[in-house]
Amino acid sequence: MDGFLPTFIRRTQTPPTFGEFTRDRPSSKMGIPERVVVPLQDTHDTPCDIMVQEGESVRLGQKIGLMGKPPVSVCAHASTSGKVDRVGPLPHPLGFLAQSVSILSDGKDDLDDLTPLNPKKIGDDKSRLFEAFREMGIPLNYELLYGRGFKVSSLLVNATEFEPYITSKHHMIKERGQDLVGGLRVLIGACSASQAVIVVEKRQSSLVNILRSATKEVPEITIKTVLRPYPETAANLLTQKLSLAKSNHSKSVHAGDPMSVDLSSLLAINNACFLGVPFVEQLVTVAGSGIKDPQNVWVKTGVPLLHIINHAGGSPSRLGRVTLGGPLMGIPQQSLEVPLIKRAKGLFAATAFLFDEHRESRFYKRTPCIKCAKCVDACPASIIPNAIADYVDNELLGDAEQWGIFRCVECGLCEYVCPSRIPLLEIMRLGKVLLKGEESLLARINLKTLGW
């Protein structure tokens, strides 16, 4: 179950938002967790450096490791104070065993010695400023920044909420709008960007007003409205929609396509510059039919998903599907012991539907493709999802690539409209993983599920 109506009675290509469950309720803050697990890898082969040992006491905000390869490595920090009880490979939400640091909380959240960044004091040395951002664990596109000499033409902030149920962006703007703009102002100066565009849905008039009020004295920032939301993976589509692509006539050293920036990264920049706090906490929406008390909650990075679900009144024994993210694009989870990772926007949990054997519903089983082309009509990337999925199913990966599998933005709309319940999104992701030669637990699980 995905939390929507059965496909045979769906009448639109886009699902309802279900935002009423959490949009009008103020966000809350989760208490100090019993345990956090901080991954030091984004993929199974990401280089990392562990800075602590088992049995060592750590404080909130203390550096515990490095993620990635210098000069674009990013520091990882303890999101609570306590004792390191395990260092080594532990399950990651993306389906592999990642080098991680597990910390048993002492219930105190004692802060490490933290010093606010001072961009003015650093001056014009952009490399030092971005090094400070990396030290604070702020996720940005550092490969692009270092490749362009820390200069980009413009910044693109997608503040639309594409996923049903998820309203964390809405609350970040509503509750921390000034701080978000503060972080964006710092980043504009750091990147020597000539403009920054924040994209909001037109129907979200309250957010538009908040952002316009917060940016009225910042001429470099423009608020653009769109009629429908865009997934964060569709930055290229959004760039074309807003005509932000680089100009062929520009000879500026920092000309180029806009750099996409996440709202949580902007808030992290503001916290680092004015509070001295590294990226150790984020706002997530916890919702779905399996959640008794849907809400937006500030959660420390590394808290196990099970603890977040319990906090929101979920009953793990009744859950049929849990995804990190929303019901469309979220990553299905095989275990609730995996940790919350940075920039996750939500946690979706759907109740399992139980039937007696003789009443088992056929509408939630995969059946053969009926060539209705609903997936083609729904696809924003203008590819043919059912044909590409067929190539992946038959191990014709070269044909899948030729037909545009890497143009897929993984929005999940094809799977949503499919009357045959074909897991098109999972197949697309699997095809990309196999074409890139990336082996993972998630790939093996999907291979087994798809009958390879």
Of 271, 403, 400, 282, which is closest to residue 347 (Cα–Cα)? Answer: 282
Q: Is 253 exposed, middle or buried (0-12, 13-18, 19+ CB in 10 A)?
A: exposed
Helix (H) or strand (E) holding 98: strand 97-105
Mean pLDDT of 350-373: 69
- CATH topology classification for 119-274: Rossmann fold (3.40.50)
Task: Identify the residue with better confidence: 201 or 442.
Answer: 201
Residue 116 · residue 274 · CB < 8 Å? yes
The pLDDT score that the predictor gives to residue 163 is: 93
Task: Identify the residue with better confidence: 318 or 279.
Answer: 279
Does the pTM surpass 0.85? The reply is yes
Per-residue pLDDT tens digits for 100-130: 999 999 999 998 888 888 887 776 788 889 9
pLDDT surpassing 50 at residue 254: no
Q: Which two tokens stand for residue 163?
A: 């996923």
pLDDT surpassing 60 at residue 423: yes
**Which residues, at least 6 apart from 216, have a Cβ–Cβ distance to it below 8 Å?**
none
Q: Which two tokens stand for residue 42?
A: 């984004």
φ and ψ at residue 189, rounded to 5 degrees: -65, -40
Q: Is 76 exposed, middle or buried (0-12, 13-18, 19+ CB in 10 A)?
A: buried
Question: How does residue 249 score in pLDDT terms, banded at 50, 70 and 90?
Answer: very low
Query: How is the chain split into domains, by residue range?
Result: 21-108+278-351, 119-274, 366-449
Least confident among 87-91, 231-235, 314-318: 314-318
pLDDT surpassing 90 at residue 75: yes
Amino acid at 299: V
SS3 assignment, position 226: strand
**Sheet with 74-77, edge to edge strand ranges:** 48-50, 63-67, 74-77
Q: Find residue 198's DSSP bridge partners.
A: 157, 223
pLDDT surpassing 50 at residue 339: yes
Q: What is the DSSP string of 255-312?
A: -SSPEE--HHHHHHHHHHHHT---S-EEEEEEESTT-SS-EEEEEETT-BHHHHHHHT
- Angle, alpha carbons 218-261-181 (nearest 5°): 30
Q: How far apart are CA 213 and CA 201, in angstroms?
A: 17
Of 436, 433, 435, 430, which is closest to residue 449 (Cα–Cα)? Answer: 430
Residue 286 · residue 275 · CB < 8 Å? no
Helix (H) or strand (E) holding 28: strand 28-29
User: Mean pLDDT for the chain?
Assistant: 88
CA 55 to chain centre: 32
Per-residue pLDDT tens digits for 294-305: 999 999 999 999
Q: What percent of the chain has pLDDT over 90?
A: 67
CA 386 to chain centre: 26
Least confident among 126-135, 182-191, 237-246, 352-361: 352-361
The pLDDT score that the predictor gives to residue 11 is: 58
Question: How does residue 6 score in pLDDT terms, banded at 50, 70 and 90?
Answer: low
The pLDDT score that the predictor gives to residue 349 is: 93
pLDDT surpassing 60 at residue 245: no
The pLDDT score that the predictor gives to residue 438 is: 63
φ and ψ at residue 446, rounded to 5 degrees: -65, -40
Relative to beta strand 346-351, strand 281-287 is parallel
Dihedral Cα 411, 417, 419, 421, nearest 10 deg? 20
The pLDDT score that the predictor gives to residue 5 is: 65
Count of C-beta atoms within a 10 Å radius of residue 319: 20
Mean pLDDT of 199-207: 95
Q: How far apart are CA 29 and CA 7, in angstroms?
A: 36
